[in-house]
Structure 1
Amino acid sequence: MDIAYGYGERSLMTRIREYSIWILPPEPVFDRLAQIITQISKQYSTPSFEPHVTLLGNLSLLEQEVSSKTQQLANFLKPFTLHLTTAGLLNEYFRSLFINIEKTEELMEAHQKARTLFRSGREPEFFPHLSLMYGNFSREIKEKIIAEIGKDFQIRFEVKDMYVTLCSSNIALKDWRRLAQFTFQTVKEN
């Protein structure tokens, strides 16, 4: 969705687009997962994309409003650990093949705080995952891929920031892009 209000230069400031808030794994985890995504993409002619966890998606707002609320969220959050567990598959385009993520108290609290800040009550239940492949493929093909890449990941990494990303299921994948990074302002208590 890309709706402009007004005319000329001013319309750029008042354009409503769809955004998501992403968590990205740090290096070297990012590179390892990006290689898996790229390998699958080449082998099965699927879209390639950055490895990410969507904390909250399909936010139809002005970019300034998304940035302001994401900064508020970052100010509230403390660094926490994400635990990627096992491969999974669904019969859904954007969740075709993925790695499940443990629903820790910190992750669920971050998601709930984001929903509250953005007044996002329309989304389905939060299903934390990191996609490896987008597309409509048979269960057999996805099981074959899991057999090749392995089912058990058991990857842990610390989350200290998040990104506002121009992306949604209504925006062409080639146009998805990170716009701004927001670092959590509070420190983890020992």
Structure 2
Amino acid sequence: MENQTEEIYSVWALPPEDVRARVKRVMSALRSEFGGPEFEPHITVVGAIRLSPDNAIRMLRSASAALSSYTARVASVSRGGFFYQCVYLLIEPTPEVVETSAHCCNGFGYRSSTAYMPHLSLLYQDLTDEEKEKARSRVEELDKEICDLRFKISELALYKTDTEDKSLKSWEKVEVRHLESKCEV
């Protein structure tokens, strides 16, 4: 096997198409008002990690093979302290959500310095606290029921995500794995 250049990868849980479309409308409205790059709606499962392409794909396939689809629920619209967590939907850290991330992080050998906070970002941008609060409350105006959102996660995707590239132009989807539905008893 030839020596492959390592790249930065992340694993994302992808919402179903109807939820993606709904969230994209909110994201688009926020971008037109506050700026920021366009990106796919997702919940990060494994944060940025440097790997060769072959290893990243192999690890995604291995980790996703042992997982089932699960439900994600929005807890609130929140704002964070840095570019990649400007305004987001905080996802309820249910056992399924947390265990999926822990399982994948173990499979990728990923260690985070912070506790896992599942979230679906709506806006990547460097804003003042006042602007963030304005953007956060704008989300609730744009979609009054967004905090009632519950959806099935049945796809995990491997993305190339160079976190130095704040334009996100270099970000690309590498592979998507479908998660099997659990058998209901």
Q: Which of 169, 179, 184 is 2:163 aligned to?
A: 169
Q: CA deviation at 1:34?
A: 0.8
- Residue pair 2:16, 2:154 contacting (<8 A) in 1 also: no
Displacement after TM superposition at 1:187 (Å): 3.2
Structure 2: any 5+ residue segments left out of the alignment? none
Paired residues, number: 179
Question: Conserved in 2, the CA contact under 8 Å of 1:74 and 1:185?
Answer: no
Distance across 1 between alignment mates of 2:121 and 2:94: 19
Q: Which has the larger radius of gyration?
A: 1
Mapped pair 1:179 → 2:169: no
* CA apart distance, 1:159: 1.1
**1:122 and 1:153 mapped to 2: Cα distance?**
27
Deviating beyond 3 angstroms after TM superposition, the runs of 4 or more aligned structure 1 residues are 185-189
> 2:71 corresponds to which residue?
81
Residue 161 of structure 1 aligns with an amino acid whose one-letter code is: E
- Aligned residues of 1:69 and 1:118 also touching (Cα < 8 A): yes
Q: What residue is the counterpart of 1:157 in the other structure?
A: 151
Q: 1: CA distance between counterparts of 2:57 and 2:108?
A: 11
Matched-pair contact (CA < 8 Å) for 1:20–1:57: yes
1:57–1:168 Cα contact (<8 Å) kept: no
How many angstroms does 1:22 deviate by? 0.7
CA distance in structure 2 between the partners assigned to 1:140 and 1:97 by the alignment: 12
Q: 1:116 aligns with which of 106, 110, 116?
A: 106
TM-score, reference length from structure 1: 0.87
Mind listing any 5+ residue stretches in structure 1 that lack a counterpart? 1-9
Q: 2:11 matched to 1:21? A: yes
* Counterpart residue identity of residue 70, structure 1: L
2:37 matched to 1:42? no
Quote the sequence identity (%).
Answer: 23
Stretch moving more, 162-171 or 179-188: 179-188
1:94 Cα offset (Å): 0.6
Aligned equivalent of 2:85: 95
Shift of 1:136: 1.6
- CA–CA distance in 2 between the matches of 1:123 and 1:114? 16
Change (3 A) 1:166 1:92: same
CA contact (8 A) 1:77 1:186 kept: no
Tell whether the 8 Å contact from 1:41 to 1:47 is kept in structure 2 after alignment.
yes
Report the Cα distance in structure 2 between the residues aligned to 1:185 and 1:25, rounded to whole angstroms. 15
Normalised by the length of structure 2, the TM-score is: 0.89
